[in-house]
């Protein structure tokens, strides 16, 4: 009886020859984000939103929630929602991305500050008929958690919320008499 011959590469199976899943290399991610932007630029926002959602699924499956690629894609989703006029969803995505950034990059990172400013800017640009006070309260809470309740951005958000809450006809004399 002869002994089996063991080759250095082991037993070659059909799976060995199968093409591995391509993964999401940075170049692939960049190309897919460019495609989302091109589709959005043509005015086809529903297709851009669908492409971004699919990219989010793929990036999350490969890297998980706590990865900068995931954060970037979710910020794009927020931007697309705002472009489509869904300011509430856009702000929710921006706030979610800011919270992920603080977990991944740390509270003192400049990109965390920039993410909070993007959320604040979107909130500021919302039309008056949106639920600005409730959304502003959400923004204030998250910004306070990220930057501290005494930070300049939290102070600005709080001032703006007060201005929205008080009628424009209220004067300083009226406020002092209360």
Query: Given this model, what pLDDT does residue 129 score?
Result: 74
Cβ 161 vs Cβ 137: under 8 Å: yes
- Residues 76-101, mean pLDDT to the nearest whole number: 95
Better pLDDT: 21 or 69: 69
Number of other residues whose CB lies within 10 A of the CB of residue 22: 7
Written as six digits, the tokens of 128 are 């008056």
Global pTM? 0.78
Question: Angle formed by the axes of helices 45-63 and 26-41, to 10°?
Answer: 160
Do the beta carbons of residue 75 and residue 93 sit within 8 Å? yes
Task: Name the nearest CA neighbour of 117 among 130, 98, 132.
Answer: 98
pLDDT of amino acid 112? 94
Dist. CA 51–CA 145, nearest whole Å? 32
Separation between Cα atoms, residue 95 and residue 178, nearest integer Å: 35
Dig out the tokens for 107 from the structure: 């509270």
Ramachandran angles phi, psi of 13, nearest 5°: -110, 170
Q: In whole numbers, what is the pLDDT of the chain averaged over residues?
A: 86
Q: What's the whole-number mean pLDDT along residues 55-80?
A: 95
Is residue 48 pLDDT above 90, yes or no? yes
126-172 confidence digits (pLDDT tens): 987 778 889 999 999 999 999 999 999 999 999 999 988 886 655 55
Domains of the chain with CATH codes: 21-177 (1.25.40.10)
Residue 165: its pLDDT value, please? 83
pLDDT, tens digit, for every residue of 5-29?
555 554 555 654 555 455 678 899 9
Using only the alpha carbons of the chain, give its radius of gyration: 24
């Amino acid at each position: 009886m002869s002994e089996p011959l063991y080759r250095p590469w082991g037993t070659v199976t059909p799976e060995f020859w199968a093409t591995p899943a391509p993964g999401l290399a940075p170049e692939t991610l960049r190309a897919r984000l460019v495609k989302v932007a091109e589709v959005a630029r043509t005015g086809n926002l529903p297709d851009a939103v669908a492409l971004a959602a699919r990219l989010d699924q793929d990036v999350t499956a490969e890297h998980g929630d706590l990865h900068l690629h995931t954060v970037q894609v979710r910020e794009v989703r927020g931007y697309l929602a705002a472009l489509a006029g869904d300011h509430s969803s856009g702000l929710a995505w921006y706030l979610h991305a800011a919270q992920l950034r603080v977990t991944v990059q740390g509270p003192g990172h400049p990109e965390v500050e920039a993410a909070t400013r993007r959320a604040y800017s979107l909130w500021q640009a919302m039309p008056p008929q949106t639920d600005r006070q409730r959304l502003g309260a959400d923004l204030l809470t998250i910004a306070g958690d990220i930057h501290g309740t005494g930070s300049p951005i939290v102070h600005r958000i709080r001032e703006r919320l007060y201005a929205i809450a008080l009628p424009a006809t209220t004067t300083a004399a009226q406020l002092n008499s209360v």
